[in-house]
Structure 1
Amino acid sequence: MRYLCAAVLAALFLFSGMVTHAAAQDITLRSRDGGVELTGTLLGFDGEFYRLRTQYGELTVDSSGVLCEGVGCPSLIDFVAEVSVSGSATMGSVLMPALLEAFALRHGLSTQREATGEETFTYHLRDATSGKSVGRFYFHLTNTDTGFADLLSDNADIVMALREIRRSEVSQAREAGLGDLLKPNRSRVLALDAMVPIVAPGNPVDAISPTELSRMLSGALDNWQTLGGPDAPITVHLRDVGSGLSQGVEDRLVKPVRASMNAQIMRHMTNAALAEAVEGDPFGIGLASFSETGNAKPLVLTGPCGFQLRAARRSIKTEDFPLTAPMFLYLPARRLPVLAREFIAFTQSTAAQIVIRRAGFIDQAPEEVPIDLQGDRFNNAILVTDGPAGLEELQRMTRTLSGMRRLTLSFRFEAGSSRLDAQSRSNVQQLASALEAGAYDGRRLLFAGFSDGQGPADGNLRIAKTRAETVRRAVLDAAETADTSRVVIQNDGFGEAMPMACDDSSWGRQVNRRVEVWLQ
């Protein structure tokens, strides 16, 4: 009896499959001493744990402590891991298959891709020597909305998302017993993309501000003449409404100004179709994926304060480009098969970062950027420096950072909150793992905090230092096994000294509130 009691954990982890998996069947689990038995409907098996629906609710039972009876009992010897992945077609069409094939190769497995429908396919993983089947990954490629819907309906184990999970989805997931999807270990930033404004090659406009983009998206700005272009109506092109990229545009550019998306926006089902449509529309503008801009002309982001930022690999990786779009994997609080857990771990490895770059996306491997490659940022800082006090702080920042290298990890906070946003929470785990591995032993790390330019300069300086300390503490708390005596970790704040966007909008001010990491 003690084996079964120890094995049963109510409402914990599970493995569920796609709707194409075998139908659930009744089984009986009996303790090895025969003293206790448990009958219920088998909901999932991950090779180690059974998950049952019983008269006591949903229970998870360790297979090592029980014997399984019934036609629905899975084989403990010939277990085949099954994992369902649903969501963004941008992530699922090339990137995830490339990662899965690289993972299989490193683990001595062969892969076979089987098309099962217009939006679905299955990867069969087999032992390369024996040919024995060890895993099946079921892919459902649609959009971020459908990915979360599949998760909530128990038809997905991993969600591919081009936006952060929304509060309503967090509540629904919690009510469905999937745990708190806002916790750090419930999401991973797989790679980075960006929302890049593009126009036709012959369009004379070369730059646009985020405020102007917001007005275009809401319909308040509808003629190119306002931007120095021809006297012609503006046609806006976006992805379909269920796309995470399109929803990210709405969340980042439209909702903060309390506006609504223009109903006349032209929608496209794929990134390639969007880029092609803009390329052929002399009066069109679109917000496209950095990985698929086609032959359209990207616009520079600018603003009334004079800053200019271009979408490029380094500016996206450091999040200097304000419209960076993280590509998330969301995982419910339930147990996945060992094969799935190993694959998730592989996506964070150095080998995986190479695959991500080859697939055309921005990887997460930390890089060190010399201070002499920060010219555009320092130029922006000089342009907006105000008065003797501003010049003094800019000089102090320059002296402090001189001879240091910037790490390509940035940290930002949720609007109106001291809580780090989803990408920053992932960055915390990444930096903590590097510290635990001794990657920066013998070096000095400086967490540098920055603020927007609203309010008194001394107050902004205090806020910036507080933000830097908050991030430093979060990283140290996460790096539980790191030997911090082997690395110097400090924090400082420079207030409004180096803005990344103009302070003329709530969106711009939010971008400027950040923490960077510098190394010596």
Structure 2
Amino acid sequence: MTSRVFGRFWNRALPLLLVTLGSASGNSLAAPPTPPDGSAVLRVHGSNTVGAKLAPMLVAGLFEAKGLQSVRIAPAGKENEQRITALDERGRTVQALVAAHGTGTGFAGLKDGTADLAAASRPIKQSEAQSLAALGDMRSAGSEQVIAIDGLAVIVHPDNPVQSLSVEQVAHLFAGQIANWRELGGADVAVELHARDDQSGTYDTFKELVLNSQGQALATSAVRYESNDALSQAVSRRSGAIGFVGLASVGKSKALAITDGDSQPMPPSQALVATEDYPLSRRLFLYADPQKQSAWTREFLSFVHSPEGQAIVEKSGYVAQAIAPIRLPLQTTMPEVYQQLAKEAQRLTVNFRFAEGSAQLDNKAQRDVQRLIDYLNSHDKQMNAAVLVGFGDARNDPARTALLSKLRAMAVRRELARGGILVKEINGLGDQLPVASNSEAGRIKNRRVEVWVY
């Protein structure tokens, strides 16, 4: 499914979704009080991927939704820091600060009290969660907020003839083991490596999904960047360059299709990123103190999940957590039940994911249940229209994998039933149709429940 085709579905579905999406809207009548000392009402530290564009736009959107006037986003005097200002009804300045110096700095800000929210382009690490244990459970639904989906695009110069690479090839490239593009069917041009810096969640994700999965390390010759956009601009100007950026920062560079394990080559299209099937897709997060949150922090998180907030996510270039239908091409290699669905039904751009060996929905899935209920209600598909297809990751016990895949579909059916939705049927296809390799990160993607509608 190309981005252009998906866009048609998206444009058709979005207006209705903006009315029906099921999170509470942050657009209540009154704004929380303005601090008398003029201090920032929101301090967001962390990921450059989140903080360069998305977080300032979301803060500005909240200010506007609260009726504040003269909303403005401007540099804060330091590189990769922005200040969002507005005027309340008494003409007093309301301000927020977004400091985008890398995911790790956000968790450090939560720990020392200089941040209200940590922006992250990867899940919190075990070591980080332990260091913040005094605040509470940082992996709880009250702390961990999935705000958008991003695709980690592998980019090259627009004239590079190479169209797709495997995760393994990308790892060998960035490890410096492939020195010339002719080794991959390209031109006789030396490979130049461009990578994000060590503080970046983008780099952490790339390292986890690409380098670590192949037992590789980044070559010391790589040029490092604090900014996605600066990296993309450099790659677009140099014929042998290759880099990686967030989906919204591809710019004038060319994004390659990526394969992982037995998956088909997948471009970083909105449809494939929305379902998280694309091998290098990832979630973007905000983490908050799970127990002590200011009124402004609570209002902001509510707004981010609201239809208005998710519309800003879409406008910023990332993939919103809205639901739209897509058609999948029929392939003879598909299982028979899946071929039937591809012929007669449409897949929705939502996947439910689970922990290893578990049928318990993760934090994102819990919110997606309500989004799906609202979508099915708004399209008059409450009764016998939806089909759930569960999948598992390849293990030594295929029978257990098949059982777990069906149990996961049953778990989603149970949650939908609580919202008045009667599912037409459920299927458990075990480890068939993998969308990723059998690495740890790949298994997470393969443990999923897809939703189809007639």
| Range class of TM-score, shorter chain | 0.7 to 0.9
Pair 1:150-2:121 in alignment: no
Q: Which string of whole-angstrom CA distances, capped at 9 and with x for unpartnered residues, describes residues 117-157 of structure 1?
A: 21444334433x43255x43232221111111111111111
1:97 Cα offset (Å): 2.2
Gap change, CA 1:517 and 1:156, over 3 Å in 2: same
Would you say 1:425 and 2:363 are equivalent positions?
yes
Which residue in the other structure is 2:298 paired with? 341
2:173 to 216, 220, 224: 216
How far off its partner does 1:419 sit? Answer: 7.7
The AA in structure 2 aligned to 1:142 is: H
1:362 partner SS: coil
Q: 1:101 to 1:149 in 2, by over 3 A?
A: same
Partner of 2:373: 435
Equivalent of residue 130 in structure 1, options 79, 86, 90 = 90
Aligned-pair CA distance for 1:509: 5.0
* Equivalences for residues 98-247 of structure 1 within 5 A: 98-110=57-69, 111-113=71-73, 115-119=75-79, 120-127=81-88, 129-132=89-92, 135-174=94-133, 177-247=134-204
Query: What is the distance in 1 between the residues matched to 2:360 and 2:198?
Result: 27
Matched residues in 2 for 1:112 and 1:232: separation? 45
> In structure 2, the residue corresponding to 1:488 is in which secondary structure?
coil
| Equivalent AA in structure 1 for residue 108 of structure 2 | A
Match of 2:16 in 1: none
Give the drift of 1:420: 6.8
> What TM-score comes out, normalization by structure 2 length?
0.81
Range that drifts further, 336-345 or 222-231: 222-231
**Counterpart secondary structure, 2:250:** coil
Shift of 1:243: 0.8
Q: Report deviation, 1:485.
A: 4.3
CA contact (8 A) 2:413 2:423 kept: no
Counterparts of 2:187 and 2:424, CA distance in 1: 54
Q: 1:250 aligns with which of 186, 197, 207?
A: 207
Q: TM-score when scaled to structure 1? A: 0.72
CA distance in 2, matches of 1:107, 1:82: 13
Q: Which region of structure 1 is more displaced relative to structure 2, 291-300 or 241-250?
A: 291-300
Aligned-partner Cα distance in 1 for 2:261–2:95? 53
* Cα deviation digits, residues 156-213 of structure 1 (max 9, x gap): 1111111111110000000xx2111111221212222211111112222111001211
State the alpha-carbon separation in 2 of the partners of residues 114 and 270 from structure 1: 17
Query: How far has the Cα of 1:433 moved from its partner?
Result: 5.7
Residue 518 (structure 1) aligned with residue 441 (structure 2): no
Alignment check: 8 A CA contact 2:247 2:268 kept = yes
Which runs of 5 or more residues in structure 2 are unaligned? 1-31
Name the SS for the 2:149 alignment partner: strand
Unaligned runs of 5+ in 1: 1-45, 48-73, 386-393, 477-481
User: Where does 1:395-474 land on structure 2 (aligned, <5 Å)?
Assistant: 395-399=336-340, 403-414=344-355, 418=358, 424-432=362-370, 435=373, 441-442=382-383, 444-452=385-393, 458-472=399-413
How far off is 1:457 after superposition? 5.6
Partner residue in 2 for 1:270: 227
Q: Give the structure with the higher percent strand.
A: 1
**CA distances 1:324-383 after superposition (whole Å, capped 9, x unpaired):** 1221111112332323312211111112222222222211112233xxx211xx43xx34
The alignment partner of 2:52 has SS state of: helix
**Are 2:263 and 2:436, in contact at CA under 8 Å, matched by a contact in 1?**
no
**Matched position secondary structure for 2:206:** helix
Q: Secondary structure at the match of 2:194?
A: strand
2:10 is matched with none
Which structure carries more relative contact order (alpha carbon 8 Å, separation 6+)?
2
Using the TM superposition, give the Cα deviation of residue 265 of structure 1 relative to its aligned residue in structure 2, in angstroms: 2.1
| C-alpha RMSD of matched pairs (Å) | 3.2
Does residue 287 of structure 1 match 2:287? no
Question: Structure 1 pair 198/231, CA: closer, same or farther in 2 (3 Å)?
Answer: same
CA distance in 2, matches of 1:146, 1:81: 18
Look up the SS of the partner of 2:268 in the other structure.
Answer: coil
Corresponding residue of 1:492? 427
Count of residue correspondences = 418
- Aligned partner of residue 142 in structure 1, secondary structure: coil
CA distance 1:165–1:417, shift in 2 (3 Å): farther
CA distance in structure 1 between the partners assigned to 2:339 and 2:373 by the alignment: 26
Query: Any conservation in 1 of the 2:390–2:449 contact (CA below 8 Å)?
Result: yes
Aligned to 1:8: none
Secondary structure of the structure 2 residue equivalent to 1:374: coil
Distance 1:153 1:306, change over 3 A: closer
User: 1:303-338 deviations in whole A, cap 9, x for unaligned?
Assistant: 675722111111111112111122111111233232
Work out whether residues 232 and 251 of structure 2, in 8 Å CA contact, stay in contact via their aligned partners in 1: yes
**CA contact under 8 A between 2:360 and 2:411: conserved in structure 1?**
no
Residues 441 and 125 of structure 1: CA distance in aligned 2, closer, same or farther (over 3 Å): farther
Instruction: Give me the identity figure in percent.
Output: 28
Tell me the distance in 2 between the aligned counterparts of 1:352 and 1:231. Answer: 47
Where 2:352 maps in the other structure, the secondary structure is: strand
1:439-498 deviations in Å (ceiling 9; x for gaps): 56445443311234565765543332133334555x46xxxxx85445337532122443
Give the secondary structure class of the aligned counterpart of 1:279. helix
Q: Name the CA distance, whole Å, in 2 between partners of 1:152 and 1:160.
A: 14
Report if the CA contact (8 A) 2:352-2:449 is conserved: yes
* 1:361 alignment partner in structure 2: 318
Structure 2 residue 42 is the aligned partner of structure 1 residue 83: yes
Q: Distance in 2 between matches of 1:400 and 1:238?
A: 41
Looking at structure 2, the residues matched to 413 and 220 of structure 1 have their Cα atoms a distance apart, in angstroms, of: 35
How far, CA to CA, are the matches of 1:420 and 1:255 in structure 2?
27
Question: Which letter maps to 1:374?
Answer: L
